[in-house]
A and B are shown apart, each in its own frame.
Chain A
Amino acid sequence: MAADVAGARRTPWVLLSPSLATISLLLIVPMLFIVVYSFWLRTATGADQVGFYLDNWIEVLGDRFYRDILFQTLLIAFYTTVICAFVGYIPAYFVANTRMKSKAFLLLLLMLPFWISYIIRTMSWINILGTSGALNTLLISIGIIDDPIQMLYNQQTVVLGLVHYLLPFMILNVYVSLDGIDKNLTEAAQSLGCTGFQAFREVTLPLSMPGLAAGSLLCFVLAAGTYITPIVLGGPRDAMFANLVFEAIVTQLNWPLGSALSLVLLALLGALVVIYTRYLGIDQIAKSFK
């Protein structure tokens, strides 16, 4: 019997061990490694000088170039998040409150973008806004313009692409918290004399905050970590921080510098995640998987 109890105690660890081993070996150890690696030095010959050098960190934290791009990255992520919050709240509210049979269909449609590749959704905007795209063709055919105008490859199109990519995350998270609100609450507020809008502002909106916060966190972190959208939809001046990481690692092969750069990104976005989970818990995000 004692052996049985010990066995039962061991079972979860046996089940968990393959996953934990994978995550430790392929994630935790590599993360610790790049922390150490960021203090090494890439020499002119291409070999790494092992040691404790602050050069990479001084370059990354001291150079205006990096700071400007970091600021630009956070700004783009901020715009994206705010737009997603405003634009995403409305359909989330509609889907949560509609009595139509189409509710299930609308929800299914919301899941679709998750199944469509990010690169395709990003590049699809070239068909819309490009010089031979839908919008230019339309404007020329109705005679508003004579020659196609270049609408692509600027900061706005980067934000547009990111909003398009991240909006479903926001809608789904807000929907989950709106759907969980007891309808009697808003009815009670209204029967006590609130107008519809007051009931929304005083009851629905505060109760949907956890979803809005979870959606915003996801949008911000994913937007700030992207490097594909600025390459596909941005101009040469619209590089984001992750583009620097890619350049350092893949193009310049300066791995210690690339390590320091990615740790800066991790520290910033990680801090956000930690603050968020401290106040709201990680469970909110997991909810949208159900």
Chain B
Amino acid sequence: MMSGWSVIRIATILVYLFLFAPVAVVILLAFNANQFGSFPIEGFSFRWFEALWNNDAIVRAFKTSLLLGVLTAAISTTLGTLAALAMVRYDFPGKRTISTLLVAPILIPEVVLAVALLLFLQFLSMPKSFGLLLMGHVVFTLPFVVLVVQARLVSIRRDVEEAAMSLGATPVQTFFEVTLPLMLPAVMAGMLFAFTISFDDITGTLFWKPGGVETVPTQIFAMLRNSISPEINALGAVMVIFTIALPLVAASIARVMAMRKVGASK
């Protein structure tokens, strides 16, 4: 019996290695001093990061991704949070249909979604633009925000709001003074989700992006197709560090804020 469990443990370690080793190699090679940026490792160097910093195309792609991610997160979290509130707090006819409709963008393959939106807007004589990119990203991040916020919203107790109301707060006051602060972690989680999905997306983005505009993933894709340049690993490392550090920093900020709140109420 013990040996069976050991086998499972070893297999688990191997699967985790399989998941992370290739990404670890990307980060390792990003710091490699070798002039081709490949094996063998010849020492530690920041040269590829310097090359990134001096590469205008990459810096531009990074700015585009950042702007797109922030705008997508803001819009989609606003829409998604309102929808999640409706789904958790109210009962109304047709709720099941609406629930399916809200997650529809996940159920449809992204390629199909990308084609439909692109062709429809082309038909309306709207050319490919940053706006199209933004619309596309909002549509397919929306269901994730709804699901994430909904899942966390369920645990907020209504008594607190009812208490505020019975003490004379108006519904609007209650929302801003009680509900919103309680919802904030859920909203932040949804926002992070939307940002990361937008920041990492490539499938839809390749369809929607206007010529000459690149996001970081499409820039990496273009670099892969032209010639494997050693800067790719550095760019990959920056992306990984960025998307992993962001949720961790956000989580610790949330923890500090929660601690302070507990401290204040004592």
Residue positions of A touching B, CB distance < 8 A:
9, 11-13, 15-16, 18-20, 22-23, 26-31, 33-34, 37, 87-88, 90-91, 93-95, 106, 109, 112-121, 123-128, 130, 132-134, 137, 164, 167-168, 171, 196-197, 221, 224-228, 231-232, 242, 245-246, 249-250, 255, 258-259, 262-263, 265-266, 269-270, 273, 282, 286, 289-290
Q: Is the CB of A119 within 8 A of B25?
A: no
Does B156 sit within 8 A of A, measured CB to CB? no
Pick the contact of B86 from A11, A118, A128, A132 — CB < 8 Å? A11
Pick the contact of B100 from A30, A109, A282 — CB < 8 Å? A282
Number of B interface residues in the complex (CB < 8 A) = 88
Q: Could you tell me the distance between the alpha carbons of A262 and B82 in the complex, rounded to whole angstroms?
A: 32
Q: Is the CB of A19 within 8 A of B102?
A: yes
Q: Could you tell me the distance between the alpha carbons of A231 and B39 in the complex, rounded to whole angstroms?
A: 24
Pick the contact of A30 from B90, B107, B120 — CB < 8 Å? B120
Residue positions of B touching A, CB distance < 8 A:
1, 4, 8-9, 11-12, 15-16, 18-23, 25-26, 29, 36, 38-40, 78-80, 82-83, 85-87, 89-90, 92, 98-105, 107-113, 115-123, 135-136, 138-139, 142, 144, 146-148, 151, 196, 199-200, 202-203, 206-207, 216-217, 220-221, 224-225, 228, 232-233, 236, 239-240, 243-244, 247
Chain B interface, >50% SS class: helix
Q: A246-B207, A255-B122 are in contact. Are A168 and B39 (CB under 8 A)?
A: no
Q: Is the CB of B117 within 8 A of A115?
A: no
Q: Is the CB of B80 within 8 A of A19?
A: yes
Q: Could you tell me the distance between the alpha carbons of A61 and B247 in the complex, rounded to whole angstroms?
A: 46
Q: Could you tell me the distance between the alpha carbons of A148 and B148 in the complex, rounded to whole angstroms?
A: 47
Nearest A residue to B38 via CB reads A132
B148 to chain A minimum Cβ distance, whole angstroms, is 6
Q: A90-B11, A116-B244, A167-B19 are in contact. Are A127 and B26 (CB under 8 A)?
A: yes
Nearest B residue to A221 via CB reads B109
Q: A33-B119, A133-B38 are in contact. Are A127 and B29 (CB under 8 A)?
A: yes
Nearest B residue to A26 via CB reads B139
The interface residues of chain B lying within 8 Å CB-to-CB of A26 are 117, 135-136, 138-139
Q: Is the CB of A282 within 8 A of B103?
A: yes
Q: Could you tell me the distance between the alpha carbons of A13 and B93 in the complex, rounded to whole angstroms?
A: 11
Q: Could you tell me the distance between the alpha carbons of A130 and B39 in the complex, rounded to whole angstroms?
A: 10
The interface residues of chain A lying within 8 Å CB-to-CB of B146 are 19
Q: Is the CB of B224 within 8 A of A232?
A: yes
Nearest A residue to B196 via CB reads A115
Q: Could you tell me the distance between the alpha carbons of A12 and B16 in the complex, rounded to whole angstroms?
A: 43
Q: Is the CB of B111 within 8 A of A245?
A: yes
